Amino acid sequence: MGMNMSEKILARHAGLDSVEPGQLITCKLDMVLANDVTAPPSIKEFEKIGKPVFDKEKIALIPDHFQPAKDIKSADLAKSVRDFSRKHGIVNYFEAGRVGIEHVILPEMGIVGPGMLTIGADSHTCTYGAVNGFSTGVGTTDLAVAMATGEAWFKVPESIEVHLTGKKPGNINGKDVILTLIGRIGVDGALYKSLEFTGPGVAELSMTDRLTIANMAIEAGGKNGIFPFDEVTKEYVEGRVKKPYEPVAADPDAKYCQTVEINLSELRPVVAFPHLPGNTKAVEDIKEPIRIDQVVLGSCTNGRLEDLAIAAGILKGHKVHEDVRCIVIPGSQWIYKEAMKLGYLDIFIDAGCVVSTPTCGPCLGGYMGILSAGERCVSTTNRNFRGRMGHVDSEVYLAGPHVAAASAILGRIAVPEEVD
């Protein structure tokens, strides 16, 4: 029986010829990831094991959630990660000024790549499926054991095929694709399953689109999301990934528990209403204007250069609505510099936006954009649970950069076509 992409990666790293859904296996890992929130408790568990790290080059520690430190507790968390990294000689530790959002900088710097198996103590570790790897989030104890042994156990997931066809419209991006999918199958529609993206429509998606889509596989309950290796992938990873890599492709007779068809040509800009990513509606179907107080452009989902380019193209020559705060957060230092060179930061500042250093910031209710009771935010982040960005009586509407930028100008949820 043939295997799909996820099964091939898991089988290879388990040293097996084949695997099947439901099988319990132990795999050798290519990369282990944690941040300033999740690493400290993992470090405490790791210290109980009494062993050195399995490989100082295969652990990435990224202080991105509450950094630069917003308070004493945040500083303590960062110090824990910093001290551990120095003690064990962690190669992929990035200090403030060199750091970016973890799920932005790991692909950007070629730390993850095709065919690799990565676990991280962050649910959005599934992002790296965009570059044809298997990556998934784990708990702090699993991460501690992985830092000591370089191994982790898995139950091989069933796989859902998401078959993409058609041409991507100019006002559509990866966020619209994944929100449409989650709206269709629900936030538990892929529970502990792999979302494997196939079909001719894959070629329509940029790497930014794919990173956004894979990032939010977890919002459908998915174990991981994964894309095939094609010319887009090859162009992205060449020159970034320094180590030899081995892409995977699904066999012609690979088995899927379900197939979901998405015709990109039929997609429209969408927004996910509070308080679930699956509460998706087309913007054009909104009957009454939804006034907003804040817009956030950034995060590990939509903080890449292409996202900023889309937003800058819409905001150029316009002003942020007088009743709206617009916060722009580049996902990495490289993106920050490129956006500056290309004039995007000037556009944002001239429009009346706040431009931040790379950080997760308000996405998880951390800082720099916390909402008060009754406030509404259009955000390019990945979750809109109650209280996610501040007060439990605030509201977060998830959207892509097209909708977010247009909404910032008009002071209500809108699409670029409505901007004069």
pLDDT at residue 136 in the model: 97
User: What is the identity of the amino acid at 306?
Assistant: E
pLDDT at residue 246 in the model: 95
Instruction: Say what the alpha-carbon torsion angle 106, 110, 116, 119 is, to the nearest 10 degrees.
Output: -10
Q: What span, in angstroms and rounded, lies between the C-alpha atoms of 18 and 376?
A: 49
Give all domains of the chain, ordered by start, each with its CATH number.
Answer: 5-264 (3.30.499.10), 268-418 (3.30.499.10)
Specify the DSSP class assigned to residue 157: P
> Contact, 230 vs 248, CB < 8 A?
no
C-alpha to C-alpha distances, 2 to 135, 190, 260, nearest whole angstrom:
21, 21, 20
pLDDT at residue 299 in the model: 94
Instruction: Say what the alpha-carbon torsion angle 315, 294, 172, 319 is, to the nearest 10 degrees.
Output: -10
Tokens read off for 320: 């942020």
Query: How many Cβ atoms are within 10 Å of 212's Cβ, its own excluded?
Result: 32
Residue with tokens 């993992």: 42
Q: What span, in angstroms and rounded, lies between the C-alpha atoms of 344 and 322?
A: 21
Q: What span, in angstroms and rounded, lies between the C-alpha atoms of 357 and 256?
A: 42
Q: What span, in angstroms and rounded, lies between the C-alpha atoms of 279 and 397?
A: 9
pLDDT at residue 211 in the model: 98
Q: What span, in angstroms and rounded, lies between the C-alpha atoms of 158 and 119?
A: 18
C-alpha to C-alpha distances, 167 to 45, 114, 228, nearest whole angstrom:
49, 25, 18
| Cβ neighbours for 26, distance < 8 A, ≥ 6 positions apart | 14, 151, 152, 153, 154
Question: Mean pLDDT, consecutive 10-residue segments, the chain of 420 residues?
Answer: 94 97 97 95 94 96 92 94 96 92 96 97 96 96 96 97 96 96 94 97 97 96 97 95 94 95 97 94 93 96 97 97 97 97 98 95 89 96 90 96 97 90
pLDDT at residue 237 in the model: 96
Nearest to 316 by CA among 406, 232, 241: 406
Residue 226: strand, helix, or coil: strand
| Cβ neighbours for 261, distance < 8 A, ≥ 6 positions apart | 163, 165
Bridge partner residues of 135 (DSSP): 118
Q: What span, in angstroms and rounded, lies between the C-alpha atoms of 34 and 40?
A: 9
User: What is the identity of the amino acid at 130?
Assistant: A
Nearest to 170 by CA among 86, 264, 75, 279: 264
